[in-house]
Structure 1
Amino acid sequence: MSSVPHRFSARRFPPALAAQALDEALATGQPVPVLAISGLQGSGKSTLAAQVVELARTRGLRAAALSIDDVYLTRAQRQRLADRIHPLLATRGPPGTHDLPLALATLDAACSGQAFALPRFDKLADERVPEAQWERIDSLDLLVFEGWFLGTPAETDDALREPLNALERDADPEGTWRRWCNQALADHYPALWRHFDRLWFLQPPGFSVVPHWRWQQEQGLQQAAPGRTGMNRAQVERFVQFYERVSRQALRCLPDIADRIVVLDAQRRVS
Structure 2
Amino acid sequence: MPPTSATDAWDSWLEQAGDLGPVHPSLLRLLALPMLRRLQDSLHSGTATRRPLLALNGPVGAGKTSLGRALERLAALGGLRLAVVSIDDLYLPAPQRHARLAGNPFGVSRVPPGSHDLPLLMEELALWRAGGTLRLPRFDKTLAGGEGGRSGWREESAEALVIEGWLMGCRALGPEALGERLQSGAGLEDLNEPELRWLPRWDRHLAAYAELWGACDGLWLLRPARWGLPRRWRFQAEARQRRAGGGWLNGSQLDNLVRATLHSLPPELYQDPLVEPTRSGIALERGVILDRRRRAHPLGVQLSSLASGSSAIG
Q: TM-score range with shorter-chain normalisation?
A: 0.7 to 0.9
Q: Where does 1:116-155 land on structure 2 (aligned, <5 Å)?
A: 116-125=134-143, 126-130=147-151, 133-137=152-156, 139-155=157-173
After superposition, give the CA deviation of every residue in 1:175-234 in whole Å (9 maximum; x if it has no partner): 1x2211111112x1110111211211011112111111111233345556x3x6622233
Report the RMSD for the aligned CA atoms in angstroms: 2.7
Cα distance, 1:70 vs structure 2: 0.8
SS in 1 for 2:287: strand
**Which residue identity lines up with residue 60 of structure 1 in the other structure?**
G
Distance in 2 (CA, whole Å) between partners of 1:223 and 1:71 is: 29
Distance in 1 (CA, whole Å) between partners of 2:247 and 2:65 is: 22
Q: Percent identity?
A: 32
Which entry has the higher C-alpha Rg, 1 or 2? 2
Cα distance, 1:238 vs structure 2: 2.7
Query: Unpaired segments of 5 or more residues in structure 2?
Result: 1-19, 43-47, 278-283, 298-314
**Which residue identity lines up with residue 199 of structure 1 in the other structure?**
L
Q: In the alignment, is the contact (CA less than 8 A) between 1:81 and 1:89 conserved in 2? A: no
SS in 2 for 1:213: helix
Q: In the alignment, is the contact (CA less than 8 A) between 2:125 and 2:134 conserved in 1? A: no
Distance in 2 (CA, whole Å) between partners of 1:172 and 1:150 is: 21
Q: Which residue among 174, 192, 203 is the counterpart of 2:223?
A: 203
Map of 2:290 onto structure 1:
264
Verify: 1:254 aligned to 2:274, yes or no. yes
Aligned residues: 253
Q: In the alignment, is the contact (CA less than 8 A) between 1:32 and 1:140 conserved in 2? A: no
Verify: 1:67 aligned to 2:80, yes or no. no
Q: In the alignment, is the contact (CA less than 8 A) between 1:110 and 1:143 conserved in 2? A: no
Q: TM (normalized to structure 1)?
A: 0.82
Verify: 1:20 aligned to 2:20, yes or no. no
Q: Where does 1:19-168 land on structure 2 (aligned, <5 Å)?
A: 19-28=33-42, 29-83=48-102, 86=104, 91-125=109-143, 126-130=147-151, 133-137=152-156, 139-155=157-173, 156-157=177-178, 158-160=180-182, 164=188
SS in 1 for 2:38: helix
SS in 2 for 1:119: strand
Map of 1:215 onto structure 2:
235
Distance in 1 (CA, whole Å) between partners of 2:108 and 2:24 is: 34
**Which residue identity lines up with residue 149 of structure 2 in the other structure?**
R
The range that moved more, 74-83 or 203-212, is 74-83
Q: Where does 1:166-245 land on structure 2 (aligned, <5 Å)?
A: 169=192, 171-172=194-195, 175=197, 177-186=198-207, 188-222=208-242, 226=245, 230-245=248-263
**Which residue identity lines up with residue 261 of structure 1 in the other structure?**
G
Q: In the alignment, is the contact (CA less than 8 A) between 1:35 and 1:196 conserved in 2? A: yes
Map of 2:22 onto structure 1:
11
Cα distance, 1:25 vs structure 2: 2.3
Residues 189 and 221 of structure 1: CA distance in aligned 2, closer, same or farther (over 3 Å): farther
Distance in 2 (CA, whole Å) between partners of 1:238 and 1:89 is: 7
Cα distance, 1:21 vs structure 2: 0.9
Q: TM (normalized to structure 2)?
A: 0.72
SS in 2 for 1:241: helix
